[in-house]
Chain A
Amino acid sequence: MTSTLPTPDAIDQPHQALRPSRRGFLGYVVGASTLVVAADLSLGTPAYAAVPSGPQIPEAYDLEDLQTDSARPTAQLITIAIEKDGTATFAIPRMEVGQGITTSTAVIIAEELDLPISKVRVSLAPARPELLFNQLTGGSNTTVSTFTPMRVAAAIAKGALLEAAAIELGSAAALLKSKDGVITAPGGASRTYGELAAKAASTTTKGVTVDLKPRSSFRVIGKPANRVDARDIVTGKKKFSMDLEVPNALPTMVCRPPTLNGHPKRILNQPTVKAMPGVTDIAMVDTGIAVRAQTFGQCIDAVRALKVDWAPGSVEGESDATILKSLRKAELPLAVPKVPVLAKTIEADFAFMFRSSAALEPYAAIADVRSDRAEVWAGLKAPIVAQGNIAKAVGLPQSKVKVNVITGGGSFGHKLFGDHAIEAAKISKAMGKPVRLMWHRADEPRQGRVHPMATSRIRATYLAGQVLSFEQRHTSVSTDFSHGLGEMITAMADELPNPLANLSFSQTIFSLTQELPYNFGAVTQLLNETDERFNTGSMRNIYSPDVRCANELVVDQLARAMGKDPLAFRLEFIKDERVRAVLKKAAAVGNWGRKMPAGTAQGIAIHKEYKGATACLVEIDCRPATVNRKVRDGVTGPRVTKAVVAVDAGLVVNPQGLKAQMMGGFSDGLALALTSSLHLRDGHFLEASWDNYFYTRQWNIPPQFEAVIVNPEVEQPGGAGEAAVSSSVAAVACAFARATGKVPTTFPINHNQPVAFEVKSFVPPVPESPTDGLSHTY
């Protein structure tokens, strides 16, 4: 299929001539040999009112709006094609990382086109610089920003097919019926979309207007749909970056420095390592010594054998304690507004440790860099930025670098950055050969992106049954926004609410996302960031899980101080009806208030973000017999025995996928509260694998888990991927506090216990693969 993208010159009718109806949208039939269509939302940018002083900024304009508005001007550059075999094809400029967007996108297109979901093929678009800000996957924004453009394009395609069918069948388009990819005339004569695809095509690009299906006619949107890639997954056919066949791209790994962000000065035993079995190439790059070999196993052996003179890292001598101390120094002062002298105060102070955002698929990328061009294959959520960085790193124009976006084995924020793709390109250039780069697991927590350490101080005042003020000062190690959100903010500066002028990127993001959904009088939430020496990024959200965990623990303290039940207290003070509805649902399904044995308790918490809301109810068992149970090379501790997540994600495209995201979000919240963190000691992180970094495992998971959807009658879809994390971490923390009578102040709660593992070596930087696998079969 070839197609010409619409440019102003190529459009027959000027914009002014197109007057869409009240529910109508603009779009194009694009000049091509088969039917190709696109939406145009560039004229439809809605106006936002000024932010009143009372409500918080996200109530009027949030990060979802920023991302959606940034994507709008380029929506017409994204096309759907009807192929001659009757399928609809669409290369989504977003990345599938497990969150299910290829499935939900197929559902959306199938709906508007009256096609079966199985006849919609969604692939991932390579880096397309002309899309500007419309190719960033993050902030649970994909469905929010692509829902309308995709529907408009699909509706235009259906309209063109109907017109072609009308001529073919000698009928009026309005009399034809479309169903399952077939258009039928009143007399019964019919044509398939495949038969019509070429006839509906246009030789020139022309503008059209179209109406979208009303919600009442939805046939597949809102019905449970299984993942489109499920069969490939369960049969082992699904390919990730390191599974791709690229000629001569041999396994490549990097021997990394013993301290964070150190770099190599020289190799001390290159000839010895070069002579090892399977090794083909060795090259020094800024991040370490790269080794290319016949197998990854031989790369591991070579990495372990390398002797390297290392330059110091970026945080030599630093540890959790020293970084925490510098965060405390950077905290902005609390300045309680004037409240009556009789008002009582609750103060709280929380610390959230470094966490690794790495997915199970480690950073991996294939790169083939030649003298005049380069091609890269990698999981990248911001591929345009990565493309620019790769071009810079290897000294080529951006247009000579092809970046293929490969479905990711998880991301959670980690693949927002192109670290792996840039490194692979540098190595390929240095070796003059294609490389298949894989980070060792140990490299991920030790040198990869982490969620920054943060503190949160809160002071709340109350009197006579009312909360008079709630102030929060969140202080964090600097978060890196160089993956594209930063540029998006710069470009959209004129659109942002006034109070955001002159804030840093991080403060802008904080202000666009943080909202305390209670009527608590004078509310201020401020962020300060310090210390840019770490490799940071978001991790299934940026600030919300920590901020909301702190908030909800204080909400429970306020309820207790004011003699109220945590649920009743929340219901009394919640601002928003949609938040109230999810809370009520979670409480009802989870049987809030049932009698629990000593040492066990329920906890409940809410979160409002992503054009929706979640509430989580958990039951936790903190009795010694549970806490002290033993699992080899794992941590146990308190066990959450039941969890309910109620979600309002606006208009639901795929309830099956939405519930899956609630389940995953809960697993993350559980880990954040109880088990998973990195320990910084003497300039490096101690953790090196999954027997050190304790993400949620089967022995931590509640035997009872339920996700419940609360469906509001709204037209706007909300976000799902990150939505459950904040309410989940908060609910687990609140339950722990209620079960033990002690409010935790450090997260995860086990962080300050002695480390529960033997620390793996830093030189060599990766552990040897064991050889005793045959004695561990079952």
Chain B
Amino acid sequence: MPKHTFILNGKPVTVDVHDDVRLLWVIRDIVGLTGPKYGCGINVCKACTSHLNGKAFNPCSVRVADVKATDKVTTIEGLADTVPGDLHPMQEAWLEYDVAQCGYCQPGQIMAAVAKVKQARAAGHEITDADLDEIRNVCRCGTYSRIREAIKAGSKNM
């Protein structure tokens, strides 16, 4: 079987698996990191949202063969290590606003939130309600209002 190498949460990993297997299953079933969740497998629910070279992406829809050896994949487990301090400011905001209920979607929500704030900044503005409306991550517990509050608060410390 072909070998594939990429950088996962700061460390290079090499896996022995067929080209077509989507990165989500490589991360979960082979590497054993379970922070990115399965909710649909077709890039709709966004529960697996992670970062590729600092941008939000959904590993359920990327073949492992399409990731390069130099690509940096960050999952929720590695988010805090991308900043100084114990936790990322967005994780701190999530705690402060007690956002989570069941918690299943929240790793993906936090990863999406960080990317969304950066995207708004790159466009020259702070996060707005219109930006928040664009976040597609499903939360079946319906915590959307606290997610919005936490993103606004967390962005101030990013």
Contacts and interface: CB of A to CB of B under 8 A. Distances in A.
Interface stretch (A94-102, A319-327, A610-618): A94-102
Interface residues of B, number: 78
A226 B134 CA distance: 28
Contacts of B45: 360, 441, 689-690
A703 interface: yes
B133 A233 contact: no
Interface string A395-421: 000000000000111101000000000
A234 B100 contact: yes
A3 to B, nearest CB: 31
Contacts of B47: 360
A436 B66 CA distance: 27
A235 B90 CA distance: 11
Interface of A: 97-100, 224, 226-227, 229-240, 242-243, 245, 251, 277-278, 294-298, 300-301, 358-362, 407-410, 412, 438, 440-441, 633-634, 656, 660, 663-668, 689-691, 695-699, 701-703, 705, 766-774, 776-778
A708 B15 CA distance: 51
Contacts, number: 239
B138 A441 contact: no
A665 to B, nearest CB: 7
A99 to B, nearest CB: 7
Contact of A238 (B21, B22, B103): B103
A100 B26 contact: no
B149 to A, nearest CB: 9
B98 A408 contact: no
The A interface is mostly helix, strand or loop, or mixed, namely loop
B8 interface: no
B124 interface: no
Given A360-B138, A690-B39, A774-B62, A234 B25 contact: no
Given A663-B142, A774-B62, A296 B56 contact: no
A618 B101 CA distance: 23
Given A360-B138, A663-B146, A690-B40, A410 B77 contact: no
Contacts of B43: 769-770, 773, 776
Given A295-B25, A691-B44, A698-B133, A227 B56 contact: no
Given A235-B76, A664-B101, A769 B22 contact: yes
A359 B140 contact: yes
Given A295-B17, A441-B45, A773-B60, A778 B142 contact: no
Interface in B27-50: 28-30, 32-45, 47
Nearest to B139: A360
A696 B29 contact: no
B148 to A, nearest CB: 7
Given A98-B103, A695-B140, A234 B87 contact: yes
A296 B24 CA distance: 9
B21 A298 contact: yes
Interface string B80-100: 100000010001001100101
Interface in B72-126: 75-77, 80, 87, 91, 94-95, 98, 100-107, 110, 115-116, 119
For A660, A703, A766, the residue with the greatest tally of chain B CB atoms inside 10 Å of its CB is A660
Contacts of A98: 100-104, 141
Given A226-B98, A277-B18, A778 B115 contact: yes
25 contacts: A98-B100, A231-B95, A233-B94, A234-B95, A235-B77, A235-B87, A236-B75, A277-B20, A294-B30, A296-B28, A300-B41, A301-B20, A410-B141, A438-B38, A663-B146, A664-B101, A664-B141, A696-B142, A697-B136, A697-B144, A698-B133, A699-B133, A769-B61, A773-B23, A777-B56
B132 interface: yes
B41 to A, nearest CB: 5
Contacts of B18: 277-278, 298
B52 interface: yes
Given A774-B66, A778-B116, A701 B144 contact: yes
B80 A689 contact: no
A412 B42 contact: no
Nearest to B46: A690
A361 B108 CA distance: 13
Contacts of B36: 236
A410 B140 contact: yes
B102 A362 contact: no
A770 B107 CA distance: 21
Given A295-B21, A778-B55, A236 B98 contact: no
Contacts of B141: 98, 360, 410, 664, 667
Nearest to A663: B145
Contacts of B139: 360, 667
B44 A295 contact: no
For A98, A412, A665, A691, the residue with the greatest tally of chain B CB atoms inside 10 Å of its CB is A98
Contacts of B22: 297, 769, 771
For A100, A230, A698, the residue with the greatest tally of chain B CB atoms inside 10 Å of its CB is A698
A231 B29 CA distance: 24
Contacts of A235: 35, 76-77, 80, 87, 91
Contact of B59 (A231, A407, A773): A773
For B102, B105, B145, the residue with the greatest tally of chain A CB atoms inside 10 Å of its CB is B102
Contact of B138 (A240, A243, A695, A777): A695
Contact of B104 (A295, A298, A410, A777): A410
Given A236-B76, A703-B148, 11 more contacts: A98-B103, A227-B101, A235-B80, A238-B103, A277-B18, A360-B47, A440-B41, A667-B143, A668-B142, A689-B42, A769-B41
A131 B32 CA distance: 36
Contact of A242 (B23, B26, B38, B147): B38
Contact of B132 (A240, A698, A770): A698
B69 interface: no
A251 B29 contact: yes
Contacts of A409: 37, 102-105
A229 B107 CA distance: 13
Contacts of B29: 251, 294-297
A777 B52 contact: yes
A702 B116 CA distance: 19
Contacts of B30: 294-295
A769 B43 CA distance: 8
A407 B100 CA distance: 14
B4 interface: no
Contacts of A359: 102, 104, 140
Contacts of A695: 138, 140
Contacts of A361: 37, 39, 102, 104
Contacts of B17: 294-295
A424 to B, nearest CB: 16
A529 to B, nearest CB: 27
